[in-house]
């Protein structure tokens, strides 16, 4: 059974959330450079109802540094007992669209993102896939029925 998706069509993606988060500077070190407080976990205030999202995280990278890690994404859902994390955290790459396909979750869910402690700013954009998402199961069942004469 194969999954049929049209990920390469721009109109199949819908921006669900976009925001920037600056770290707070509260002191200067002995050289006069600011010391930043860590950006807290970003709880995205959007309910996602599709299993496929694309997440982009960007930040200003200091001269001479090479950063690739952008933190991790966790998903949660609301149960009768409150918010519950589900699945393993997803590692995110910096400056790229991170495609997240959830095969094990078919209900509404929330996401939260924790960027690395060394980020002094973070820009987050989350797109939800709204296009075709089907399997060949229907075609396979029809082929079996035709073979059986049903």
CATH number at residue 81: 2.60.120.1300
- 120 assigned to some structural domain: yes
Domain count within the chain: 1
Span 56-68, average pLDDT: 93
pLDDT of residue 104: 60
Span 110-118, average pLDDT: 94
Whether residue 98 has pLDDT greater than 90: yes
pLDDT of residue 47: 92
Q: Is 143 exposed, middle or buried (0-12, 13-18, 19+ CB in 10 A)?
A: exposed
Strands (E), 23-141: 25-28, 34-36, 42-43, 52-58, 69-79, 82-93, 97-101, 110-114, 121-129, 133-135
pLDDT of residue 72: 95
- 103 assigned to some structural domain: yes
What residue numbers bound the domain in which 81 lies? 12-148
**Average pLDDT, whole number, for the chain?**
87
pLDDT of residue 1: 60
Q: Cα dist. 120→24, 35, 85 in Å?
A: 8, 9, 27
pLDDT of residue 68: 94
- 144 assigned to some structural domain: yes
- 138 assigned to some structural domain: yes
- 3 assigned to some structural domain: no
Locate tokens 């059974």: which residue? Answer: 1
CA 80 to chain CA centroid, nearest Å: 25
Point out the least confidently predicted range of 2-11, 29-38, 60-69, 124-133. Answer: 2-11
CB 40 within 8 A of CB 77: no
Q: State the Cα–Cα distance between residues 36 and 31, nearest whole angstrom.
A: 14
Whether residue 59 has pLDDT greater than 80: yes
- 6 assigned to some structural domain: no
- 2 assigned to some structural domain: no
pLDDT of residue 29: 82
- 100 assigned to some structural domain: yes
């Amino acid at each position: 059974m194969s999954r049929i998706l049209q990920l390469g069509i721009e109109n199949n993606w819908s921006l669900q959330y976009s925001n920037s988060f600056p770290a707070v500077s509260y002191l200067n070190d002995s050289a006069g450079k600011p010391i930043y407080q860590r950006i807290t976990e970003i709880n995205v205030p959007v309910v996602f109802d599709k299993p496929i999202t694309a997440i982009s995280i960007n930040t200003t990278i200091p001269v001479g540094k090479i950063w690739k890690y952008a933190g991790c994404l966790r998903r949660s859902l609301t149960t009768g007992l409150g918010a519950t994390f589900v699945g393993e955290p997803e590692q995110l790459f910096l400056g790229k669209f991170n495609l997240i396909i959830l095969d094990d979750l078919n209900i509404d869910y929330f996401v939260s993102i924790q960027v690395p402690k060394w980020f002094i700013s973070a820009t987050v954009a989350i797109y939800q896939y709204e296009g075709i998402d089907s399997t060949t199961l229907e075609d396979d069942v029809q082929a079996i029925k035709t073979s059986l004469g049903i």
